[in-house]
Amino acid sequence: MDVLSAELVTAGLGTRFIGQKVIYFPRHGSTMEAAREAARQASAEGTVVIAEAQTAGKGRAKRAWLSPRGSVALSIVLYPDISQLPYLIMLASVAVARSIEAVAGLETQLKWPNDILIKGKKVCGILIENELKGDRVTWAVIGIGINVNIRMKDFPEIADTATSLYDELGKELSRVGIIRRLLVELERLYLSLGDGGDIYQEWRDRLITLGKRVRVISGEDVLQGVAEDVNRDGSLLLRHSNGQRSHIVAGDVTLRDAG
């Protein structure tokens, strides 16, 4: 297995702040918890928490996230302005997609709201947590889990819907190489966020969800329709067969067909 350490990630990293401080755990419950704790103690912006393996990895909607040794599990502490919050998911998704394409040479697709797929199977999930005080963001944490050097046959419970870079390439990759590229891409996008227009466009262009018939599970509701567009706040516009439109802020999408 390739070697992962804080020093290997930070040494000569071409960023101003993201990844300049790395907290590494050989094993931890969840990097989200550790990053939240770091944020509460006012750790420098861009602090990255990495775990070689997580024992209680958190997915969206209170699901568990499998992160055995060989995968990438990291969380990044940011202190964004409230106007930047909707764009964090977009810039994290685009940064992961660009990094996988650059380092592994594999084509990726984005599935609303925050999955990165390869050939239709999930290779990465992203979780964003934040705390607000009034209209001030006290902290935000971007959590990223990428299936890198794991063999999906060892995880039959998700092998139908998930893939790994190892399975796609047939060889191991340097997790340090992927993480370093990811941190550089993330910082570049974060620093050039401006009014969010560019990142919104790239995110929207990369979404395979748009124009497709989908089923969306949002809380207790199951909705069907055509995923017509996404708004700049990240929400999904769903057109129902009766012509009505729903605005979906959070949910899980299943693509119904290719048409």
Q: Could you please report the per-residue DSSP string of 43-61?
A: PPTT-EEEESSBSS-B-GG
Q: Figure out which of the listed residues 15, 43, 47, 54 binds ligand BTN, where binding follows CB under 6 A.
A: 54
57 sits near ligand BTN (criterion: CB under 6 A): yes
Strand (E) positions, the chain? Answer: 22-25, 48-51, 72-78, 109-111, 115-118, 121-133, 136-146, 213-218, 221-230, 236-239, 245-248, 252-255
Identify the sign of the CA torsion 157, 161, 166, 169: positive
Q: Would you give the binding string for ligand BTN spanning residues 136-155, x where CB under 6 A is met?
A: -------xxx----------
* Site size with ligand BTN, rule: CB under 6 A: 21
Q: Which stretch binds ligand BTN (CB under 6 A): 60-68, 86-94, 180-188, 217-225?
A: 60-68
Distance CA 25, CA 132 (A): 28
Q: Which stretch binds ligand BTN (CB under 6 A): 103-111, 123-131, 175-183, 234-242?
A: 123-131
Phi and psi, residue 98, nearest 5°: -60, -40
Shortest distance (Å) from residue 169 CB to ligand BTN: 21
Q: Which stretch binds ligand BTN (CB under 6 A): 18-26, 63-71, 84-92, 104-112?
A: 63-71
Q: Which stretch binds ligand BTN (CB under 6 A): 26-34, 99-107, 183-191, 243-251?
A: 26-34
Shortest distance (Å) from residue 35 CB to ligand BTN: 8
Q: Figure out which of the listed residues 67, 108, 130, 163 binds ligand BTN, where binding follows CB under 6 A.
A: 67
Q: Residue 88 has which token pair?
A: 């964090």
Nearest alpha-carbon partner for 18 in 106, 144, 131, 117: 144
30 sits near ligand BTN (criterion: CB under 6 A): yes
Q: Figure out which of the listed residues 85, 91, 127, 226 binds ligand BTN, where binding follows CB under 6 A.
A: 127
59 sits near ligand BTN (criterion: CB under 6 A): yes
Q: Could you please report the per-residue DSSP string of 184-206?
A: HHHHHHHHT-TTSHHHHHHHHHH
Shortest distance (Å) from residue 29 CB to ligand BTN: 8
46 sits near ligand BTN (criterion: CB under 6 A): no
Any idea what DSSP says for residue 233? T
The answer to whether the beta carbons of residues 92 and 126 sit under 8 Å apart is yes
Chain residues that interact with ligand BTN, rule: CB under 6 A: 30-32, 54, 57-60, 63, 65, 67, 73-75, 115, 125-127, 143-145
